[in-house]
Amino acid sequence: MGGRPIVTRNLSVPRCVDLFAGAGGFSLAARQAGFEVSLAVEHDRHAAATYRQNLVRGKRPTRLLEADIRELAPDRLASETMRRRGQIHLILGGPPCQGFSSHRLNDSGVSDRRNDLIHVYFDFVRAFAPCAFLMENVPGMLWPRHSAALTRFYDEGRAAGYTVFQPIVLDARNYGIPQRRRRVFILGVRPASLQDDIIWPPLPTHSEDGTDGLLPWANCSEAFLPTSSDDPNDLHMHHSDELVAAFARTPANGGSRHQSGRTLKCHEEHDGHNDVYGRIDSGKPAPTMTTACINPSKGRFVHPIFNHGITLRQAARIQTFPDSFRFTGGLMAAGSQIGNAVPVALGRMLLSHLRNHIQFDERELAPSGETASNINPTAIKMPRDERSAATVARAA
């Protein structure tokens, strides 16, 4: 960082950066856990609009870059951010996971360019040199066919001086989230920041039967309570009369495509996809909220008793977003944002745990003569002869 001197001051709020930030589930969780989110990067314009509307506010608002992260220069962005905000202590991120998805058959996805985004993510970890990083992804990234990408990621972490914990698969139900959702988390910590008594992952707080001092899994019934009359996300898909009739034949709090009486050609020769057109059972944890969570043809996403798919607000509640968080971009775009998010309450629990078990560095770079008001916003882009320029939208 140019050899600038290091100064030390009392750190009351550790600072983090959220890469591949989406609509802001991880960022909101970080704020609730006591972190300042100094910077967020998101490429999708609808997700960025949602993030901006909900999270770019306050005395020290998050700086949001609406850009393709592959076309940003990590060292330049790190230098600029730390001149503005001080040392960054934690890097968050959930690189797009389609290449690792369990829906990819055989060896498809092995050479998917989106798999490389975990290495792009680490380019920014290396540049910011935080005390710790926490990456979220789908369990498919642990499949043997993706071992080369994962091994490279771990090699990068160790070479940069991090203790990188083994990947863990967490089921959100075991932490009080009203949803069956399994995701991988990879934690890296600088040895100097690592406390001897750290427990990772945090111990579960819930179990299916609630024995051994744990609470029983949370059901999703509260997601279906009435919302305010002016909630712009109280929307569901419009269905044909044929589909409404199929939903009416499906038993409350359950059922399947067989009981709906609707059989498509793609269903005729196999017995799979039983959850399609099924109702969510409000007395149990909900199924995984995917990017298609408002579409009953994509899974068990029909309302427990009414003859339509679940609303955006109901899906957002299952993902533990507060009702004050509003999603933009239209029905399908908002549904995708919700399904892509880290459940807010799960993220808050993980990050609160890290705050209690990691010694976040209190050192900061001494400010240089360049201030936030005179920094060129295009200076963080890759030179044109290296990559095409990114479109960078700065929050007001």
| Catalytic residue positions, numbered | 97
Euclidean distance between CA atoms 171 and 285, whole angstroms: 11
Distances (CA, A) of 8 to 5, 361, 366, 368: 10, 9, 9, 15
Determine the Cα–Cα distance for residues 189 and 348; give it in Å rounded to an integer: 18
- Rounded alpha-carbon distances, angstroms, from residue 252 to 247, 260, 292, 307: 9, 11, 21, 10
- The torsion region of residue 264 among left (phi > 0), alpha (psi -120 to 50) and beta comes to beta
Q: How far apart are CA 134 and CA 352, in angstroms?
A: 13
Q: What count of other Cβ atoms lies within 10 Å of the Cβ of residue 271?
A: 7
C-alpha span between 174 and 160 (Å, rounded)? 33
Dihedral sign (CA 112, 117, 120, 122): negative
CB atoms within 10 A of CB 303: 20
* Residues shown for the chain: 396
Pairing of β 163-164 and β 63-66: unpaired
Amino acid at 337: Q
Q: Is the peptide bond before 201 cis (omega within 30 degrees of 0)?
A: yes
Q: Which residues pair with 309 in a beta bridge?
A: 302
Phi and psi, residue 15, nearest 5°: -110, 145
Note the Cα 295 to chain centre separation in Å. 20
Q: How far apart are the first and last CA of the chain?
A: 27
CB 224 within 8 A of CB 193: no
Under DSSP, is residue 136 helix (H, G, I), strand (E, B) or coil?
Answer: strand
